[in-house]
Structures are given as structure tokens and as C-alpha cells.
């Protein structure tokens, strides 16, 4: 089972979510609207995200969809 780590820093209004372990070598790309995608610098695989200027109830969080798992092929 995958573990998700969520860090909220209210004084900075920053919400960080990792669905994989943080890496010492990672890249951040702003997707727009204060949403930052965090990727492994070596593989380019997304490992987390940050929401800038986040407050509880923020509607932007509803627009983020993360699916974890492997696709199952029809037999």
C-alpha cells in the first residue's frame, strides 16, 4: 500500500503532498495557479506537489487528481 505524506505549514500557507519519498535531487515545475509539481530529477517521475497560498477548504485541491497503482489489462 502506498503511503502519502502531507505537510501543512499554516504560517507560510504551504501544503506539500508526497506520494513517493522526497529525493535529494528533485525538480519543481509550476503548473499554474500556484500548483507546483515535484519530480525526481533523474527519472522525471512525479513524486509530489505543493500548493502555494493554501488555506483549508481551498478549491484548487479539488482540481488535483492523483492515481496510484498499476493499470490492469483486460484478459
The predicted-structure confidence for 8-61, as pLDDT tens digits, reads as follows 898 999 999 999 999 999 999 999 889 999 999 999 999 999 999 988 788 776
Tracing cell 527519472 back to the chain, one arrives at 43
Whether the CB-CB separation of 49 and 35 falls below 8 Å is answered with yes
Instruction: Report the distance separating Cα 24 and Cα 33, nearest Å.
Output: 26
Cα atoms found within 13 Å of the Cα of residue 22, Cβ hemisphere only: 9
Determine the distance from the C-alpha atom of residue 53 to the mean position of all C-alpha atoms in its chain, rounded to a whole number: 15
Q: What is the pLDDT of residue 40?
A: 95
Task: Reduce the DSSP state of residue 60 to 3 states and report it.
Answer: helix
For the full predicted model, state whether its pTM sits above 0.75: no
Domain boundaries, the chain: 5-56
Cβ neighbours of 7 (radius 10 Å): 12
Amino acid at each position: 500500500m502506498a503511503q502519502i505524506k502531507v505537510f501543512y505549514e499554516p504560517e507560510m500557507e504551504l501544503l506539500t503532498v508526497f506520494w513517493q519519498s522526497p529525493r535529494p535531487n528533485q525538480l519543481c515545475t509550476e503548473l499554474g495557479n500556484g500548483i507546483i509539481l515535484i519530480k525526481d530529477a533523474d527519472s522525471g517521475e512525479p513524486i509530489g506537489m505543493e500548493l502555494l497560498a493554501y488555506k483549508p477548504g481551498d478549491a484548487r485541491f479539488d482540481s488535483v487528481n492523483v492515481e496510484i497503482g498499476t493499470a490492469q489489462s483486460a484478459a
